Amino acid sequence: MLIAAPEPEAPPHTGGLLLLIDGTGGLLTVAALGIALLLYLIIKIRLQPFVALLAVSIAVGLAAGLSVTELFGTVQKSDAVSVIESGMGGILGHVAIIIGLGTMLGAILEVSGGAEALSARLLGLFGERRAPLAMGLTGLIFGIPVFFDVGIFVLAPIVYAAAKRSGKSILLYCMPLLAGLSMTHAFLPPHPGPVAAAGLLDVDLGMVILMGVVCGIPAVLAAWAYAAWIGERVFVEVPQDMVEAVEESRKAIEDDQRASGVKPVETPASVGTVLGIIGTPLVLILAATFSSIALDPSTFRSVVEFLGHPFVALTIALLLSFYLLGIRRGWSRKSLETVCTASLKPVGNILLVVGAGGIFGAVLAGSGIADALADTFNDMGLPVILLAYLISLVLRVAQGSATVAIVTTAGIVAPLLAQGDYSQAHTALVIMAISAGSIFASHVNDGGFWIVAKYFGISERDTLKSWTVLESVLSVAGFAVAAAVSLLV
């Protein structure tokens, strides 16, 4: 009987269409060219970030030697999962549910008048002289479940009113508010950036919340100090046209709500109810994190960890908001459905960008580029937390999108963390560094820059002097705390 000689094993990635590289130097060249192409497509061509990330991921994978089959799979479905499918599905399986639940929760809090109730209570508590601090705390608390731009839209009228009463610069009131909104958006779940980074780097969300508070609170205090300083030196009047525009928008929203059956807000929601709903998922998730560290396996620990799973905790908070802020105050089930469905419309773009970032990270890993980058960065001798901050910062300043900066940086530093055997706490601090870098120096290529300038009637020059510097202070202070704490964990 003849026995066929075994086929020699093919070298890895010989099926690539563009096998242009050889060795570590070639892989690093492909990585550098890929990032340069990504920036060019977003900045110069103005290509939608999801499309740009997907196109660059495919180009980098082929150039690094991945075959078409490895990238896309086969026409006939099999058990094998392609790099693109695994990258997209792996991150969205974790992120999409959290962002979806968090978005609906924020919408219920917004439409129910929770922000107005919270700010009114804080203004009454702190008084006119400390109104800027009340604005900052409003942004900090209300920003936990609400997206940054939504928070501005909802809270801008309160800023206008406070600035009108005092006759002082609107910067004195809007900058602390913006610092609070920006801190929560950058450092705390359920916002897309930290949630996406946690998914990409496989970090417990409770640990991300804990480190977000540890790094974010000192950072926002530094930003509030700068806000007080710049607010006394640059006078900006309350923009009357925006006051009128916001009132018109609110009236249109109320008309739409009536037409769709949503009961308009007649009395503000209870502050205690609002704080309870916002705090519920945070407390449950943190309790689960601490129980997994401090408690031995038991039925009690299992129950705590179940209730503290992000999916369960956010679902509980959302159901509480449905009843306490909706049904108990006269809303119909159809009204709740209308508000929640409308809130999810802007989320599609965010999820696609996050998913494309997952694809980019999977391509870097599958092609060997990630290992080459890890070896090179290790040879540089810089701490991974510093590298993560600098990479995120450069990407942010270059192309403007914080989400793109976060998901791209997470894909680059993931192999560094895998090789170093870092703890969950240390990895969460690296996420804080990435998030801090992603908000540095918001300028004219960032949509947030123009939202701030438009809503508060600030000239481009004064926006650079106030908002851009405020974001940089928040970024540097947040990273400084993360770097200092990383020496202890």
Residue 275 lies in a domain: yes
- The pLDDT averaged over each successive group of 10 residues in the chain (489 residues) is 40 45 77 88 87 92 88 65 85 86 87 82 87 94 89 86 89 96 94 92 94 97 97 91 63 64 65 92 92 89 93 94 87 82 84 88 84 78 92 88 89 86 94 96 88 89 95 98 95
Residue 291 lies in a domain: yes
> Based on the domain organization, do 322 and 385 belong to the same domain?
no
Whole-number Å distance between alpha carbons of 356 and 169: 42
> Based on the domain organization, do 415 and 309 belong to the same domain?
no
Report the number of distinct structural domains present in the chain: 2
- The last residue of a domain, from among 344, 372, 389: 344
Residue 6 lies in a domain: no
Q: Which of 479, 363, 399 is nearest to 60 (CA)?
A: 363
Residue 380 lies in a domain: yes
Whole-number Å distance between alpha carbons of 274 and 55: 43
> Based on the domain organization, do 182 and 309 belong to the same domain?
yes
> Based on the domain organization, do 376 and 457 belong to the same domain?
yes
Residue 37 lies in a domain: yes
For the chain, how many helices (H) and strands (E)?
23, 0
> Based on the domain organization, do 139 and 275 belong to the same domain?
yes
> Based on the domain organization, do 466 and 325 belong to the same domain?
no
Residue 3 lies in a domain: no
State residue 446's pLDDT score: 87
- The last residue of a domain, from among 311, 344, 377: 344
State residue 254's pLDDT score: 65
Residue 1 lies in a domain: no
Q: Which of 341, 337, 398 is nearest to 40 (CA)?
A: 398
Containing structural domain, residue 160: 89-192+205-219+239-344
> Based on the domain organization, do 99 and 246 belong to the same domain?
yes
Indicate the Cα dihedral angle 233, 123, 209, 109, nearest 10°. -120
- The last residue of a domain, from among 304, 323, 344: 344
State residue 5's pLDDT score: 40
